[in-house]
Amino acid sequence: MSAITKIPFISMSSICVSAVGVVAVALLILYRYFSLPSLRRRWEANPVSAQLSSADHERLRRWQARDMALFVTIMVSVIAFWPALGIGLLPTGALVPGYVFLMGLATVGLAHHFALSCPVCGRNIGLQSGLALPRHCEVCRTALR
Q: Which residues form the interface with Zn ion (CB under 5 A)?
A: 118, 120-121, 123, 137, 139-140
Nearer to Zn ion, 98 or 119 (CB): 119
Q: How far is the CB of 118 from Zn ion (least distance, A)?
A: 3
DSSP state of 51: P
Q: How far is the CB of 2 from Zn ion (least distance, A)?
A: 54
CA distances 121 to 5, 15, 95, 141, Å, are 51, 38, 44, 9
Q: How far is the CB of 135 from Zn ion (least distance, A)?
A: 12
Nearer to Zn ion, 116 or 118 (CB): 118
**Contact criterion met (CB below 8 Å) for 14 and 99:** yes
Nearer to Zn ion, 111 or 143 (CB): 143
Instruction: Tell me which residue of 142, 139, 137, 106 sits closest to 35, measured CA to CA.
Output: 139
